[in-house]
Copies of this chain bind each other. A is one copy, B any other.
């Protein structure tokens, strides 16, 4: 390229300006201990006046930390993911880290390839927010002792740090809430089968029913995929049942929205004719009409905690994997009413 970019200010310039060697500058900038206070100040001042900004690639190439962490997500168009991202971002900013975002678009190979590129690449650590982690690259990450944290997903090996929420308890609470309000025929819209939270939520649902001595009617469980589309289908199925369920528990809010839409289209009222309860409490949940009663997952907090775990792991690579499970909470709004 023949364009004349102004020469970047490097560590050498700072060194020259402050009359020390470049290694000393490097040490100052990296908060090294053995630097005389007076030199430290000199260097810092020079850096400031020159407007020096470190070159990340060089730093990271030379073996230093890049202060960038990678985040792997399936896609972006999803309140659930966005919320978690928000938490991640907040905490990262606080810690002075930058974010590299990788969207996999559900392409398996891409995930694996990304993980490879990422680990030999720029980032100091990796956050995985993909519904189905592939054991293969998890193993790879572990074998390289590369710091990573799984968000809202299990790892059978138990060797990964994980942040999730009390899915089972949350579903149990929601179901109990419906039961206490007199509902006995509760439709359940399940999520993607293989995903951890799907299973846990279904378990919680079943547990509550059992506790009430109710026999599980399998026809009341409809398959969904955590999105509105599939939930509409599922709801239509449920609405066709005889007798019709008096309440629907959707495995996540997106599904609940789908359910609401289907219900309205069937000319039924929410909650007068049928109650709806969701899971997640994404921001949209409070702007629907009626506002959605749902189980709140502290999504942003999950993101924040994940970052904390990751950063600690980066600090101390020998840390044992940990699992943090945050509490869910029933958020009562307007989409559920007592059945009598």
Interface residue ranges, A against B (CB under 8 Å): 1, 3, 5-6, 8, 51, 53-58, 60-61, 66, 68, 75-77, 82-83, 85-86, 89, 93, 98-103, 105, 113, 116-117, 120-122, 143-146, 257, 260-261, 264, 283-284, 287-290, 317
Contact = CB atoms under 8 A, between A and B. Distances in A.
Given A284-B287, A287-B287, 19 more contacts: A6-B144, A51-B116, A53-B113, A55-B121, A56-B122, A57-B57, A57-B61, A57-B121, A68-B100, A75-B89, A77-B82, A77-B283, A82-B82, A98-B100, A99-B103, A100-B100, A122-B122, A284-B284, A288-B289
A52 B76 CA distance: 28
A100 B67 CA distance: 13
A58 B56 contact: no
A287 B264 CA distance: 12
Contact of A143 (B6, B283, B284, B290): B6
Query: Helix, strand, loop or mixed for chain A's interface?
Result: mixed
Nearest to A6: B144
Nearest to A264: B289
Given A56-B57, A102-B98, A116-B53, A86 B76 contact: yes
A83 B53 CA distance: 32
B121 A93 contact: no
Contacts of A317: 1, 3
A120 B53 contact: yes
Copies in the complex: 2
B55 A58 contact: no
A53 B117 contact: yes
A69 to B, nearest CB: 11
A101 B100 contact: yes
A113 B76 CA distance: 26
A283 B253 CA distance: 14
Nearest to A145: B3
Contacts of A93: 103, 105
A326 to B, nearest CB: 19
A68 B66 CA distance: 15
Nearest to A83: B77
A3 B56 CA distance: 22
A57 to B, nearest CB: 4
A120 B10 CA distance: 10
Which of A89, A113, A146, A290 has the most chain B CB atoms inside 10 A of its CB? A89
Nearest to A121: B56
B89 A76 contact: yes
A241 to B, nearest CB: 25
A117 B113 CA distance: 27
A55 B100 contact: no
A1 B54 CA distance: 22
A120 B82 contact: no
The 6 closest A-B CB pairs, nearest first, are A289-B289, A57-B57, A57-B61, A101-B101, A76-B86, A8-B120
Contacts of A100: 68, 98-101
Which of A76, A99, A117, A283 has the most chain B CB atoms inside 10 A of its CB? A76
